[in-house]
Structure 1
Amino acid sequence: MFDLRRSDVALLQAVSDHGSLHAVERGGRMTQSSASRRLIKLERRLRTPLVSRSSTGTELTEAGHALLHAGRRLVGAIDFAMATSHHRTDTRERLPVVQFAVGTERAYGMGRDLADRFPEAVFDVVPGDSRDVWQRFERYAVDAACGWETTRRPGLRRSEALVRTVVDEPQWVALPRDHPLARQETLDLHDLADAEWVATVGGDACDDQGWAFSLLSPAPRVSFTVRSQSAALELVGRGYGVALVSPLSPEPEHDLSLVLRPLRQRLVRRLTLAVDPLVVPLTLAHELCTWLRYGYAQRAAKRNPVYAASASFPPLAEGPGRPLRARPEAGASSPGARGPLPVLLSELHWTGPDSDSHFEAEHLHLLRVIDRIGSLNRAAATLLVTQPALTRRIHRLEKGCGLPLVYSTARGTSLSAAARRLLDCTGPAESRLDELVGRMRQIAAAQSAGVPAASPIGAPIAPPATASPAASRAAACADERSNSVSASVNPPARQGPGRCRERSAGR
């Protein structure tokens, strides 16, 4: 197991929050030079850069954000097990708090609908446009995300995430009602080459609009630029041009001055749901995707019945997947008759290095070795320490956390119930950290061997190919020539094999 300490997690968190090592020194945890040395040590152990330094400050790389997320998960799981050691309920009776990033257009009122439909989790809805949604998910700031992505701009690169396609939505064109092409049922994009456009900059539709403009020659004329589809629809209704919008864009009820028409060219954007399987179970993710599809179909039938009845409408679920939860009535049950509440489980509720917890991630490995071997003597040999030193270390841990961890039996040494519960709570987070560290080292090994590693940290990397014996001997000769002190700066372009054999024989 990789030894990631609480101070390392706090250091990465400070760099992520403030973008500078000065903040770590101002916080009083360590000096700037000590923080820099610790980061360099972490990077050498992982063989992967964790921070990028520039004139504007210090930022975490993709690997740094991934390591911070895995470390927070593990430290939070340890603190959860320690804080709930008195909890007599089953460890499975937990209520996860899921940070859910969604688009701004569907965030309003979504929290109550999620609470009614999925009582086994609490969804903390974080609104934003699609760029912010995927950026939050890529940097492990949220546990789940639902947003738009296009073929020109894939929104997700985390391979360990569970990804589900909610719907593939074609883009439509909004025109003024008195436009000459408004009477046609379907429009061709080239028929709008001479029209003036209302362009949407930023947000979800920017890439789709840029792709549509690239298909027109010469470049279309843009009369005005806005940042939202609602403003674009308002300008189209006033006669300032045409705009590329979603077929579910609500038409103004008080103003029927515009129409929506489909395109023959299929400009599709995809609504994608991505979840962290460590937080959101697979069954819950599947039911959440089904519920989102049903909600899209309901909105389409209400806002644009023509689109919902067209052949281009994607096949979606007919039902929401599960019935609504019945809300408890006021005064139906007395407070005394209520059972024990489930334990809240959230990554945000982790304790920093200033807490009284003496338990580190390396101590989990110690307990797992003792549990696997069943003897302190043999476990000490495996851990490369003496048996008295291991005993003293366990006593210090028990005194620090206030819980018995091991006890002696006739057959050897066994873990206590509190220690087994600790390993059970931290198992998934520990496995996630080990997988991440192994993936980082595999990518570093592939890059050092000359294999191009274009995939991100979350993508698997194939092992490097084994070189042939002839290539290995040639590489050995080349290394020997480069390490020789008497080698010339510009060696001859062609070297005979006899020179290598002579040096080998001389040694």
Structure 2
Amino acid sequence: MKCNELNDCYVGRMSIDLEDLRAFVATAEMQSFRAAAETIHLSQPALTRRIQKLEATLGVPLLERTTRRVSLTAVGRDFLPRARRLLDDLETSLMSVREIAERRSGLVSIACIPTAAYYFLPDVIAAFTAEFPAIRFRILDAGANEVLQSVLNREVDFGITLLGADDPDVAFDPLIEEPFLLACRRDHPLAHRASVSWEELADHRFVTVGRSSGNRLIMDLALAKANVRPRSFFEVQHLSTSLGLVEAGLGVAALPRMALPAGPHHVIATVPLTSPHVTRTVGVVRVPGSRRSPAAEQFYEMLLSRWRSGGEP
């Protein structure tokens, strides 16, 4: 049964205890009955009873229990973001309407690719909280595809990612275009070059990210047009892992500028990559017409304003 069917058929007709929802969300996030019970100050048997009651009310299992861990069923995975939103909506509704309207309190939910979350999002949040100190933030740092999906599922107010410009279901506001640069050790033969062509990387051990990465998609498309394809020796899932392999002297990598050390690094050197010049565009994605809280709307406007006035890192 799909989650929208759960909403229509069950939530509208049955009385669901909010404490049962809190028990379910805590257990799903912790993947442990013991840790969840401690977090929400319940005994483990009481927590189990609450989840069993919720499952009985909905008529479907939400969690799979094994001797080692707790995992979500397919229905549980669909229901989790909706359960979170129900709890968030309740918490927001219980706040003072005037405080929310005046942006003195509220919640801003953002999905963001890790490089953006690390390098420039904190600066904007710091400026925002200086003006609105009571507003809370939830930040989902995830891959580009997951950020886009979180926006489409309305799990967050908006996302910061490098995908979505061609998606008809979202609005994409570009913020910054940045190049891919070569990362290598300072003692590497390419480290002191003024520039390096992609074709020259064929002679070196190349570290790339997996095909599920948005950065890999951008590179593959650009290099296919130029009929250039470096031979990858290592494939990793995260850009930070690429840097670790480069720092260890195991190979070279092509990374977006934002993923590289912000200043001079004692081990890693960066060199411009040419032929072709590959870039990625990072922007804000949102669902057009979706209702955002005043706090989220204010932060969104500040984010665009600071970036477009030269506030990028």
What's 1:311 paired with?
none
Amino acid corresponding to residue 170 of structure 1 in structure 2:
P
Q: How does 1:481-500 map onto structure 2 within 5 Å? A: none
Residues 254 and 245 of structure 1, relative CA distance in 2, 3 Å threshold: closer
Q: Partners in 2 of 1:14 and 1:158 — Cα distance?
A: 37
Q: How does 1:349-388 map onto structure 2 within 5 Å? A: none
Residues 158 and 123 of structure 1, relative CA distance in 2, 3 Å threshold: farther
Does 2:188 match 1:174? no
Q: Partners in 2 of 1:223 and 1:273 — Cα distance?
A: 28
Residues 181 and 112 of structure 1, relative CA distance in 2, 3 Å threshold: closer
Does 2:306 match 1:291? yes
What's 2:273 paired with?
262
Which stretches in structure 2 are left out of the alignment for 5+ residues? Answer: 1-7
Q: Partners in 1 of 2:111 and 2:154 — Cα distance?
A: 11
What's 1:68 paired with?
83
Q: Partners in 2 of 1:176 and 1:29 — Cα distance?
A: 52
Secondary structure, counterpart of 2:257 in structure 1: coil
Secondary structure, counterpart of 1:7 in structure 2: coil
Residues 18 and 202 of structure 1, relative CA distance in 2, 3 Å threshold: farther
Cα RMSD for the two superposed structures: 5.2
What's 2:206 paired with?
197
Q: Partners in 1 of 2:48 and 2:32 — Cα distance?
A: 11
Q: Shift of the alpha carbon at 1:18?
A: 1.5
Does 2:232 match 1:220? yes
After TM superposition, the score normalised by the length of structure 1 is: 0.40
Deviations 1:271-296 (A, max 9, x none): 23246742245465233223234455
Residues 51 and 244 of structure 1, relative CA distance in 2, 3 Å threshold: same
What's 1:246 paired with?
256
> Based on CA coordinates, which of the two structures has the bigger radius of gyration?
1
Q: Partners in 2 of 1:10 and 1:163 — Cα distance?
A: 37
Q: Shift of the alpha carbon at 1:223?
A: 10
Q: Are the counterparts in 2 of residues 166 and 271 from structure 1 also a CA contact under 8 Å?
A: yes
Matching residue within 122, 129, 138 for 1:115 = 129
Q: Are the counterparts in 1 of residues 174 and 283 from structure 2 also a CA contact under 8 Å?
A: yes
Q: Are the counterparts in 1 of residues 180 and 272 from structure 2 also a CA contact under 8 Å?
A: no
Amino acid corresponding to residue 26 of structure 1 in structure 2:
P
Aligned length: 274
Amino acid corresponding to residue 65 of structure 1 in structure 2:
L
Q: Name whichever of 192-201 and 129-138 sits farther off.
A: 129-138
After TM superposition, the score normalised by the length of structure 2 is: 0.59
Secondary structure, counterpart of 1:273 in structure 2: strand
Residues 224 and 285 of structure 1, relative CA distance in 2, 3 Å threshold: closer
Deviations 1:282-333 (A, max 9, x none): 4652332232344554x3xxxxxxxxxxxxxxxxxxxxxxxxxxxxxxxxxx
Q: Are the counterparts in 2 of residues 104 and 129 from structure 1 also a CA contact under 8 Å?
A: no
Residues 121 and 180 of structure 1, relative CA distance in 2, 3 Å threshold: same
Q: Are the counterparts in 2 of residues 15 and 21 from structure 1 also a CA contact under 8 Å?
A: no
Does 2:55 match 1:36? yes
Q: Are the counterparts in 1 of residues 23 and 47 from structure 2 also a CA contact under 8 Å?
A: no
Identity of aligned residues (%): 12
Q: Partners in 2 of 1:234 and 1:90 — Cα distance?
A: 49
Q: Are the counterparts in 1 of residues 179 and 277 from structure 2 also a CA contact under 8 Å?
A: yes
Q: Shift of the alpha carbon at 1:210?
A: 7.7
Does 2:140 match 1:149? no
Q: Partners in 1 of 2:257 and 2:180 — Cα distance?
A: 6
Deviations 1:30-81 (A, max 9, x none): 57664333112xx7xxxxxx9476876444556413532442244335533x
What's 1:436 paired with?
none
Amino acid corresponding to residue 135 of structure 2 in structure 1:
V
Amino acid corresponding to residue 45 of structure 2 in structure 1:
R
Q: Shift of the alpha carbon at 1:251?
A: 6.6
What's 1:134 paired with?
147
What's 2:108 paired with?
98
Secondary structure, counterpart of 1:71 in structure 2: helix
Q: Are the counterparts in 2 of residues 202 and 227 from structure 1 also a CA contact under 8 Å?
A: no
Greater fraction strand: 2
Q: Are the counterparts in 2 of residues 99 and 125 from structure 1 also a CA contact under 8 Å?
A: yes
Q: Are the counterparts in 1 of residues 204 and 252 from structure 2 also a CA contact under 8 Å?
A: yes
Deviations 1:344-376 (A, max 9, x none): xxxxxxxxxxxxxxxxxxxxxxxxxxxxxxxxx
Q: Name whichever of 127-136 and 99-108 sits farther off.
A: 127-136
Secondary structure, counterpart of 1:167 in structure 2: strand
Q: Partners in 2 of 1:69 and 1:292 — Cα distance?
A: 30
Secondary structure, counterpart of 1:114 in structure 2: helix
Q: Shift of the alpha carbon at 1:195?
A: 1.7
Q: Shift of the alpha carbon at 1:221?
A: 3.3
What's 1:26 paired with?
45
Q: Shift of the alpha carbon at 1:261?
A: 0.8
